[in-house]
Structure 1
Amino acid sequence: MAGAQQERAMGAIMGAFIGEALGVGPHWYYDLKELHRTYGDWIDDYTTPEPGRFHHGLTAGQNSQAGFILELMLRSLVECNGYDEADFCQRVDNDLFPLLDGKPRSGPGHYTSESIRHAWKRRVAEKRPWHDIGGAADTTEAMERTLAIAVRYAAEPARLSQAIANNTALTQSSETMLSMGVGYGCILACLIQGDTMDAQIYQQPLKWLAENTLAFEPVTTRQPAPDHPELPLRAQRHIVRDTLHAASDIAASATDPAIRIKPAWKVSHLYGMPCAFYHQLPAAYYLAARFSDDFESAVLHAINGGGQNQSRAMLAGALVGAQVGLAGIPERFLDGLDRSAEIRKLTHSLASQMSD
């Protein structure tokens, strides 16, 4: 059992890195005719950004800034044998922020998202403490790094929920963002434990809520869950029930023969192509359910949907990678990923530290 769980954990992390790297070339094309003129009718591998595009200077298979930050989180988790907020913040202070200048087209990957720019401004330019730099961005950057926390604590939902909420609050203070991030982390944890992305995916997390295992309020009773003092609770309790039900409903629609999106990449048109979580998460959940045993189809339909396809593919890649395991990811994606052996070694270290 432990071996299978570790295999799924590695699939989730490598799936996220692969999804992110696949989006480096065709990132943020909202005009699909332009996307097709540049990369053809179907993108099926890593690509190099065109001159003037967001990640120009990177080459096919490299990760951009979301991958860079995910690796910071991964190294912190591995070297500290768990989530250590002070260590993670120090890594961001030392390894990321000195590479930024507060402008969008700067830093690793040659583009910095709004939430990270806002954090840089408050932390570096205004010299504020870490607990006072979170902003209101509604995008998925925190989910893209805290998915590694979900993997590490897949068998420890109490630690998972607080660590994800606290880490999210560092850069994104919206209560909705905290709820959505914890919900995504709970679903990813269930997939690592062996569940499938289907209409029943909400059941285990709801049991955690009912048992007061998660540090969040069940919406029906409003009974507060107990604090877990081993983790700092800066983030207040939030309601995650609805995000769990929404994920299950979307998963059900993906396998309902009466509901069919053809081709599947048009899910980005149904839920929206922009960057906000309310566009990104539904599409990622849909693709993870429709292609639960087909990693390649999931990430490629995420990429070919255009818009903010990088986050879509990263989030979906983790969900499907957790279902198929590392062995279910095509070798060409693993081989083509820049620094693949180094990242895979880190991923293996994280998986080996997981609790049974």
Structure 2
Amino acid sequence: MTTTIQDRAQGAILGAFIGDALGLGPHWYYDLDELRADYGEWIDDFADPMPGRYHDGLKAGQLSQSGYILTMMIRSLNDCGGYDESDFCKRLDEELFPKLDGTPMSGPGGYTSQSIREIWRQRTIHGIDWQDTGSNADTTEAIERTLAIAVRYATRPSDLAAAIVSNTVLTQTDDTVLSMTVAFGAVLSALVRGRPFDASLSTELMELVKNGNLPFHAVTSDNLQPPKQGSPDPPRAGRFASPDALLTPSYMAAAARDADIRIEPAWKVSIVYGMPCAIYHQLPAAYYLAARFHNDFESAVLHAINGGGQNQARAILTGSLVGAQVGLSHIPKRFLRGLENYSELLELAERLANSIPSVHD
């Protein structure tokens, strides 16, 4: 499968949008019998939300608020030539917050997440400065927008980490959530660069830790071997106490390729790792599906959706990871054409992909 970095970058962005739109209808069904009753035994395309459920009133192929905010992030990156926090925050203040009322079932996309509701209250009701916003939400909302930063800085891991940390703390301040969010960005950027999603991926990520490009602390030598006798404790490259978030992807890849470990059907990954919204449920499932279906975008995102629960986030993350592996050119055209405003989304992705610095710049 021949792709370019621009093709993979666009695949990562459109893959996320497709995952978001696929989840719009069958979002947050924790009773799988109810999900099957409403949408049949196998969801294979965009679908309208059912009356009275999340995103009621929207139509198949439209984006949720996660997609809306991701679009805002890409516009900001494109217009500013990179991450400009003041510009992104201004867009939230002026373009998103006036459309919210602080309640869950409101705003663009028909639902506003916990972390966004919290910063809306802090900014709109209490007038708190942006440097003091953020909450203890343990969800993937920061990943769902900073994946665009990971694409933009795919060839600049140090800049990637700094920008993702800075943007994430606007809404989520827990260091474990931060470390897992940065780790996802590092994985996605490696895939955009053309790195295979295999059991040795974490070795490459750990090299970025040791050369100071990723802000994690590590004391082991190569391949997680003990440090040499008498070796000093290395200086911290950044704020995160351990590199474990960078190791998870390779364990998931190893499981996906181990003939003795089978999750069948693959949508049951949601039962193995959990259906809820928390980042520690979502990432292992997305990594597993992205490694198992590394060259099959359709299977990856549909298994993410058919697992129920917080399937929209699972599909956004999985769609981005697999889109980065197969490239835009190998995403089924029916998914692309089914997106509302597909041409506009493609143009945004093209501009972002074309702005990625050369590895040699």
TM-score by length of 1: 0.95
Partner of 1:148 in structure 2?
A: 148
1:351 to 2:350 alignment: no
- In the TM superposition, what are the counterparts of 1:263-282 in structure 2 within 5 Å? 263-282=265-284
- Counterpart amino acid of residue 195 in structure 2: D
Partner of 1:245 in structure 2?
A: 247
**Range 216-225 or range 170-179, more displaced:** 216-225
The 8 Å contact of residues 55 and 111 in structure 1, kept in 2 or not, is answered as: yes
- Partners of 1:96 and 1:196 lie apart in 2 by 37
The 8 Å contact of residues 304 and 311 in structure 2, kept in 1 or not, is answered as: yes
- Partners of 1:176 and 1:94 lie apart in 2 by 30
1:72 to 2:84 alignment: no
Displacement of 1:95 after TM fit? 0.6
TM-score by length of 2: 0.94
Displacement of 1:215 after TM fit? 3.4
The 8 Å contact of residues 49 and 56 in structure 2, kept in 1 or not, is answered as: yes
Q: Structure 1: which 5+ runs fail to align? A: 226-235
Partner of 2:111 in structure 1?
A: 111
**Range 181-190 or range 215-224, more displaced:** 215-224
Partner of 1:295 in structure 2?
A: 297
1:317 to 2:319 alignment: yes
- Counterpart amino acid of residue 311 in structure 2: N
The 8 Å contact of residues 219 and 239 in structure 1, kept in 2 or not, is answered as: no
Alignment partner of 1:170: what SS?
coil
1:255 to 2:257 alignment: yes
- Partners of 1:48 and 1:219 lie apart in 2 by 50
The 8 Å contact of residues 161 and 182 in structure 2, kept in 1 or not, is answered as: yes
Partner of 2:158 in structure 1?
A: 158
How many residues align? The count is 345
- Partners of 1:350 and 1:111 lie apart in 2 by 27
- Counterpart amino acid of residue 268 in structure 1: S
The 8 Å contact of residues 137 and 172 in structure 2, kept in 1 or not, is answered as: yes
- Partners of 2:313 and 2:88 lie apart in 1 by 22
1:85 to 2:51 alignment: no
The 8 Å contact of residues 216 and 243 in structure 2, kept in 1 or not, is answered as: no
Partner of 2:223 in structure 1?
A: none
- Counterpart amino acid of residue 77 in structure 1: L
- Partners of 1:57 and 1:107 lie apart in 2 by 12
Alignment partner of 1:82: what SS?
coil
Partner of 1:229 in structure 2?
A: none
Partner of 1:138 in structure 2?
A: 138
Displacement of 1:240 after TM fit? 5.5
Runs of 4+ in 1 over 2 A off after TM superposition: 214-222
- In the TM superposition, what are the counterparts of 1:1-356 in structure 2 within 5 Å? 4-220=4-220, 221-225=233-237, 237-239=239-241, 241-356=243-358
Change (3 A) 1:222 1:117: farther
Displacement of 1:306 after TM fit? 0.2
Change (3 A) 1:240 1:191: farther
Q: Structure 2: which 5+ runs fail to align? A: 221-232
Alignment partner of 2:170: what SS?
helix
- Partners of 1:247 and 1:306 lie apart in 2 by 22
Between the aligned residues of both structures, percent identity stands at: 58
Displacement of 1:196 after TM fit? 1.5
Per-residue Cα deviation, 1:181-235 (whole angstroms, up to 9, x for no partner)? 110000001001111211111122111111112234335544133xxxxxxxxxx
Alignment partner of 1:62: what SS?
coil
- Partners of 2:103 and 2:40 lie apart in 1 by 31
